[in-house]
Amino acid sequence: MEMLINVPETVVADALRGMAAAHPELTVDVENRVIVRSDAPVAGKVALVSGGGSGHEPLHGGFVGPGMLSAACPGEVFTSPVPDQMVRAAAAVDSGAGVLFVVKNYTGDVLNFDMAAELAEDEGIQVAKVLVDDDVAVTDSLYTAGRRGTGATLFVEKIAGAAADEGRPLEQVEAIARRVNEASRSFGVALSACTTPAKGSPTFDLPAGELELGIGIHGEPGRERRPMMTSGEIAEAAVDAVLTDLNPRNPVLVLVNGMGATPLLELYGFNAEVQRVLGARGTAVARTLVGNYVTSLDMAGASVTLCEIDEELLGLWDAPVRTPGLRWGM
């Protein structure tokens, strides 16, 4: 196993210690696994809390800061955080204006955030929840009842985070988050399997010269396996799968997301093909983001996420943000 780690048992704790050292603007509780923006709670502001298994960085801890999340709860690799983490995070950031939980649609995350919401409300914290389920590849998977939550999580956290920073009430922030999720669709492709530190070997078998269309961010099976395709052919398959389900009439936000091991040279080339296909399909593009944002450890591959937007959502997307993983306008 060739990994830049000490031992598998301390991978998450070691990463959190390193994150704390690199980002003093965050308060990182290594023992309790909670990452909080250091100025929290912000008076009168709705707080956004999200979380999930580690291994998808910068999601979610890398999106904590002004303009996005108030706090994040990292679980073990590919494992949901526990309700105690979520309640602790909610208590740390609640200003009295309420807390919005942003939850990717994976069974463990859903159950634990539901339990955490009940516990937090018992402590007098007003909680709303938004479920992200944007992946069009499959309806059910090894970890999910319904569609998986993937790249649209970034759009939800950024746009809802901007709405919260404007001082909008919890009901409005929740409604905007739901709008973004409903207007977003994703499709991913794996060129290689990922390797978890605990297993020390690939999580699934993907022979050389083949790829998996419709993969999940934990290495779940997709729609089909095919011989290796060109970047243009992959873009056509991914974009067509998304547009078949979304059918946007307005311009879209585009996220071309790397799965962890695909270099920017390839991602930008892939984005060129995605833009070509969108143009050929008559879909206008308002903004594009390219990079590794919702990853799967060392998996090679990419995903495409589109979000149909209007003037209000575009303004919130463009609003300033300052986090370890995403920043502009500040």
Q: Which residues are catalytic?
A: 56, 218
Give yes or no for a cis peptide into 58 (omega within 30° of 0): yes
The closest of 135, 116, 21, 9 to 71, measured between CA atoms, is 116
The closest of 178, 175, 173, 171 to 161, measured between CA atoms, is 173
b/e per residue 232-269 (b: at least 16 CB within 10 A): eebbbbbbebbbebbebeebbbbbbbbbbbbeeebbee
Q: 186 has which bridge partners?
A: 135, 305
Report how far apart, in Å, the C-alpha atoms of 127 and of each of 61, 93, 111, 166, 264 are. Answer: 20, 12, 15, 19, 38
Could you write out the DSSP letters of every residue in 87-140?
A: HHHHHHH--SS-EEEEEES-HHHHHHHHHHHHHHHHTT--EEEEEE--B-S-SS
Query: For residues 132 and 181, is the Cβ–Cβ distance under 8 A?
Result: yes
Order across the sheet with 210-213: list the strands: 224-227, 210-213, 184-190, 301-308, 252-258, 285-291
CA 305-250-232 angle, to 5 degrees, is: 40
Determine the 3-state secondary structure of 277 from DSSP: helix
Residue 55's φ and ψ, nearest 5 degrees, are 105, -5
Determine the 3-state secondary structure of 72 from DSSP: strand
d(CA 35, CA 19): 9
